[in-house]
Amino acid sequence: MAIPKFYEIMLPFLELISDRKEHKIQELFEKIADYFKLSDEERTKMLDSGNDIILNNRVRFARLYLKQAGLIEYVSRGTFKITQRGLDVLKSKPKIIDVKFLEQYPEFIEFRYKRKKETKNTIEEKQETLEDQTPEEILDSAYSEIRQTLTKELIGSVKDCSPQFFEKLVVELLLKMGYGGSRKDAGAAIGKSGDGGIDGIIKEDKLGLDVIYIQAKRWRDGTVGRSDIQKFVGALVGKQAHKGIFITTSTFTNGAIEYANNVDVKVILIDGAELAKLMIDYNVGVSVTAIYELKKIDSDYFVEE
């Protein structure tokens, strides 16, 4: 049979992990292929880009949608299991689990449709038909949607990781951004909690001409408020420091942002969404699956003299 669409995979995916045990995505590739009785050719058929197997790509996408709807949960890095909500769905014996089915869950609606900095227009007013868009516009729109989806998935993954892994992630990101000098210097700087609201110190440049004080908060829920920033700023003043970075997997209240913008010391706030975007830009926790070169005709080449 033909390779199943990602939404056709979601129900058997859920059934295959209904044992409540922890699973890894690699084992689902083969199980899904067996479930749909795919041929060897169908199991290994690649995307046009040649950078991924079509089936594997669709299985991962099915996992993402099930996770965002709360039917599965990540329990540790690279592992997941079915939730009680997922078990309840199976008990209801649905004929198919598709996007429309998942839209009964508010978390999925927010994941799929909410976009940061959206205009006041409705989703329907914003969407254009393919006939109204140029090929370049379609490609640009698809890229933006993939990036937004990846951003949200990254935030979820970071929130699921351990505090120790989060500290390692922060070090990796700062190094990729050019801070910290050597890996040894950067690695030794993070994780020194209990120092008056400061979690670490890192060099601003390779020579160490200045330092930046860091506060890193891996929060699953809640928001960072004004009092948290005041405490951090107080710690900076106590160290006679001039620069600080407050990194969180959560968000900042308006009061916290306003306070940070109006103090004498320089305080940069990085929330979960910004953290995920920086991770994408500096290739931390992500990998390149495809590169497309968009070319246009070189008019000068055809000028005859």
Say what the pLDDT of residue 160 is: 83
Q: Tell me if 301 sits within 8 A of 187, measured CB to CB.
A: no
Query: What tens-digit pLDDT sequence spans the chain (305 residues)?
Result: 689 999 999 999 999 999 999 999 999 999 999 999 999 999 999 877 667 889 998 999 899 899 999 999 988 777 899 999 999 999 999 999 999 999 999 989 888 775 434 434 444 444 544 455 666 667 777 888 888 888 988 988 888 888 878 878 888 898 888 887 666 665 555 555 455 567 778 887 777 778 888 888 888 888 999 999 999 999 898 888 888 999 999 999 999 999 999 998 999 999 999 999 999 999 999 988 777 777 877 767 777 76
CA 58 from centre of chain? 18
Note the pLDDT of residue 3.
92
Buried b (16+ CB within 10 A) or exposed e, 130-164: eeeeeeeeeeeeeeeeeebbbbbbbbbbbbbbeee
pLDDT of residue 267: 93
- Which pLDDT score is estimated for 115? 44
| 286: amino acid identity, one letter | V
The kind and range of the H/E element at 71 are none
- The span from the CA of 53 to the CA of 51, in Å, is 7
CA-based nearest residue to 42, from 215, 50, 34: 34
Which domains does the chain carry? 6-114 (1.10.10), 163-281 (3.40.1350.10)
**For residue 216, what pLDDT is reported?**
86
Exposure string over 219-254, b if 16+ CB within 10 A, otherwise e: eeeeebebebbbebbebbeeeebeebbbbbbbbbee
